[in-house]
Amino acid sequence: MKKKIAVILAGNGVYDGSEIYETTMALYAIAKNEMEYMCFAPDIPHAHVINHLSGEEMKETRNVLVESARLARGQVKNLNTLNVDEYDAILIPGGFGAAKNLSDFAFKGDAMTVLPELEKIIRAFHKKRKPIGALCIAPTIIAKVLGAKVTIGNDPETAKAIVSMGGVHEEKNATDITIDEKNKIVTNPCYMSAANIYEIGEGTEACVEALKGLM
């Protein structure tokens, strides 16, 4: 039986959803490492919709589960149906969706809250000693819920917020990972530090390989 990773999406696009290259390269790394994945996303409205050409907010509403289905080629399930017993690990890609839809870190900083259904799932994986991965800005969620050791690269503001929420921050380059062995947490800065898509490939692969090693 191949190991299975649940990948948590938050929309489809860096400024209001999941970062597309981080997600795609992570899914590719999972397949390359002979594991399987299933995508999950919450059935909630986007915090807001950003025109990715102009950077301006668009006056429309989109649904996180529906937009995530684009990134998952239709193969995405409602986050509230995720059964921890069916998966060996969980992975949360970055993009502002992690900080706007899965949590409100982008709006509230260290006073953030995490989407309750996601917090419950993170705690369930942690309790069962199953590894948890997070990329880019998503490690803030793990720091908030588990007070774990993570990296978001070397952005001082975000690192400070992580410490303020009870986490430990480790400075890393784009292609390096931080492993919190005790809590089985693997994090990588991705586009918090990466200069190009090649570095995203390196960073996500390192993260996925480390998750496999912790299973």
| Residues taking part in catalysis | 136
Q: Are β-strands 49-50 and 57-58 bridged in parallel, bridged antiparallel, or unpaired?
A: antiparallel
Of 38 and 168, the one with the shorter C-beta distance to a second copy is: 38
Of 19 and 170, the one with the shorter C-beta distance to a second copy is: 19
The rounded distance, in Å, linking the Cα atoms of 99 and 9 is 12
- 209 belongs to the binding site for a second copy (CB under 8 A): no
Closest distance of CB 169 from a second copy, Å: 25
Closest distance of CB 94 from a second copy, Å: 12
Q: Find where tokens 């062995």 sit.
A: 181
How many chain residues touch a second copy (CB under 8 A)?
34
- 51 belongs to the binding site for a second copy (CB under 8 A): yes
Interface region with a second copy, contact rule CB under 8 A, candidates 72-80, 120-128, 130-138, 173-181? 72-80
Of 60 and 86, the one with the shorter C-beta distance to a second copy is: 60
Q: Residue 163 corresponds to which tokens in the numbers above?
A: 């410490």
Orientation angle between helical segments 20-32 and 64-71, nearest 10 degrees: 50
- 73 belongs to the binding site for a second copy (CB under 8 A): yes
Of 23 and 178, the one with the shorter C-beta distance to a second copy is: 23
Interface region with a second copy, contact rule CB under 8 A, candidates 6-14, 115-123, 138-146, 147-155? 6-14
**Residue 11 corresponds to which amino acid?**
G
Q: Rounded to 5 degrees, what angle do the CA atoms 116, 122, 128 make?
A: 135
- Residue 42 phi, psi (nearest 5): -75, 145
CB atoms near residue 85 (< 10 Å): 7
